[in-house]
Amino acid sequence: MNYKISAMVLLLVISAGISSTYIVYGTILDNIYASPQLHSVKPTSSTPIGYSPVQIRHAYGFDLLSCSFTGTFGSSNLCGYGQIIAIVDAYDDPNIENDLNVFSSQFGLPSCTSSNGCFIKAMPQGKPRADQGWALEISLDVEWAHAIAPGAKILLVEAKSNSLSNLLAAVDYAVSQGAKVVSMSWGGSEFSSESSYDYHFNVAGVSFFASSGDSGHGVIWPAASPYVIGVGGTTLNLDAQGNVLSETAWSGSGGGISAYEKEPSYQVNYGISSNGMRAVPDVAYDADPNTGFAVYDSYGYQGQKGWFEVGGTSAGAPQWAALTAIVDSGRSTPISASNFGSGTEIYLAATGSVYSTNFRDITSGTNGNCGSVCTASSGYDFVTGLGSPQANNLIPYLQTH
């Protein structure tokens, strides 16, 4: 695929003495594309394969929270109650509502449908064509956001194509519809003017999460944006109950030092040595397709339909978004990306004595052959960031700070 991303056109119009900025989505960006960051390596099955929601919630401590993962949508005790999680992807998954129902029924989750108000599928640019690769991405994103925050509404925004112009317009639409957390499981190569488009994510009252990439060492955008929380990948080995046997850096996890984005204040204050440039990722989550997630997709992928085991840093973005929806449900105001707010909150949660309670520090594994920049280590590293969440501690911390 073509991962190159180029410039957006900004048109400044002076009319009747009033200056207005208009974003022109088109022309240049119509021919520039992003890719979903997911992998499936095993044949499909008629029964679930891969980790279940119960296992993952136990592994990351969600099951120790006081909110519930079972019941009827609309119940105030459900995790993420009252929030909207936006899933922004390209193209159409024509079967997603049905597949979400199969997933929910299989794992005892609240029903999430358009009729009960839990699920909304939006096509603000017109109906896209269906695409099997992106449909599997959509299934992963929607099903696992619901698994982690079943009390939240899921707003799926389908961009008409995987051009950056359409995807960014879909992000803007999601924000306009009231989403306070936005998941972007896609990205492309960095480009010299990328910081000019970070304003899409510098939004008050909204947090943004993006996959850091699945090709090992290297940085992609928008995970590189300092207003976005970049999510790297781990290999998470669990027993049948979800007890953690080990968690190490996944070899495919994207990460490194941005070529163009300046180091944000929250990383400077944290003491990250990255030559004044943005370090990626910020946090981590299971991503290895060999320790992947159970996903149901009836539309089909590479000639197969049914239950898939899916990995990739795609899996972490919607689940970190769901975690933040739970956080926001217990705050008077949501965590905000504006002025680096979301990043500041996350890094403060990994500072001093609270680090070891809020995060699982990933200290082994590599994503390349470039020395320390490719190697997980104690504290922040360029493969897994601050580490994976210990949600039972991290969520209450973020709700009270």
For 2-35, how does the pLDDT look when each residue is reduced to its tens digit (9 = 90+)? 333 333 222 222 223 322 233 444 445 566 789 9
H or E segment and range at residue 207 = strand 207-211
User: Does some domain include residue 14?
Assistant: no
Number of residues assigned to the chain = 401
Domain that holds residue 256: 35-400
The whole-number pLDDT of residue 28 equals 56
User: Does some domain include residue 381?
Assistant: yes
The whole-number pLDDT of residue 41 equals 73
The whole-number pLDDT of residue 32 equals 74
Q: Which H, E and C letters describe 10-55, residue by residue?
A: EEEEEECCEEEEEEECCHHHHHCECEECCEECCCCECCCCCECHHH
User: Does some domain include residue 299?
Assistant: yes
CA 289 – CA 308 distance, rounded (Å): 10
The whole-number pLDDT of residue 323 equals 99
Mean pLDDT by 10 residues, the chain (401 residues): 32 28 45 86 90 98 98 98 98 98 98 98 98 97 98 98 95 98 96 92 98 98 98 98 98 98 98 97 98 97 95 98 98 97 98 98 98 98 98 98 93
The whole-number pLDDT of residue 73 equals 98
The whole-number pLDDT of residue 160 equals 96
Query: In the chain, what is the greatest distance between 2 CA atoms, to the nearest angstrom?
Result: 67
The whole-number pLDDT of residue 275 equals 96
The whole-number pLDDT of residue 29 equals 54
Report the percentage of the chain scoring pLDDT > 70: 92
User: Does some domain include residue 192?
Assistant: yes
User: Does some domain include residue 29?
Assistant: no
Tally of structural domains, the chain: 1
User: Does some domain include residue 92?
Assistant: yes
The whole-number pLDDT of residue 31 equals 66
DSSP secondary structure string, 290-317?
GG-EEEEEEEEETTEEEEEEEESGGGHH
User: Does some domain include residue 322?
Assistant: yes
Instruction: For 270-374, list the strands marked E by DSSP.
Output: 277-280, 283-286, 293-301, 304-311, 359-360
pLDDT tens sequence across 139-160: 999 999 999 999 999 999 999 9
Amino acid at 272: I
The whole-number pLDDT of residue 166 equals 95
**What is the four-CA torsion angle of 274, 356, 231, 376, rounded to 10 degrees?**
50
CA 273 – CA 187 distance, rounded (Å): 25
For residue 195, the domain's CATH number is: 3.40.50.200
CA 186 – CA 313 distance, rounded (Å): 9
Residue 107 contacts residue 147 (beta carbons within 8 Å): yes
What is the value of pTM for the model shown? 0.93
The whole-number pLDDT of residue 162 equals 95
User: Does some domain include residue 18?
Assistant: no
